[in-house]
Amino acid sequence: MSEIPTVVTPTKDFKRLMEKLEELEEKVENTNAEIFQRAGKKVGRDVGIAYGLIIGTLVAIVLPNLLNVMQLVVKMAQ
């Protein structure tokens, strides 16, 4: 049978190590949050560009046709 090695550390050292680990964990969490925030901004920008292109295309196609239809309606009403 193999024995599991154990280490006994003084309480002060253990607390100090735990504080350092908590600081490192907080830094990692903040870094991950910034990475995801930047990715979200990029996705939002891309979606905004796509919506802009779609709406711009619809306006460029629909608006002139709508004006033509309105002119025909006015001519028919006369």
**pLDDT per residue as tens digits for the range 24-65:** 999 999 999 999 999 999 999 999 999 999 999 998 888 888
d(CA 53, CA 60): 10
pLDDT bin (cut points 50, 70, 90) of residue 72 is: confident
d(CA 63, CA 77): 21
